[in-house]
Structure 1
Amino acid sequence: MTAVVSVPLVIAKQEDGSDVYLYQGASVGDGLAKGELKRLRDGGFISEVEDVVEEPAPEPVEIPEGDPTMQWNVAQIDAFAEKRGIDLTGPNTKPEKLEVIAAELKKAADAAGK
Structure 2
Amino acid sequence: MLAGIAEGLALADRARLQQKDVLEVLELTSMSSELVMQKGNAIIKSEFPPQQELKHMQKDLKLALNMAEGLEHPLPITAASNEVYKHAKRLGYGSHDSSAVYVRARF
TM-score (norm 2): 0.23
Question: Which structure ranks higher in relative contact order (CA pairs < 8 Å, sequence separation ≥ 6)?
Answer: 2
Q: Name whichever structure is richer in strand by fraction.
A: 1
Please identify the structure whose Cα radius of gyration is greater.
Answer: 1
Q: Name whichever structure is richer in helix by fraction.
A: 2
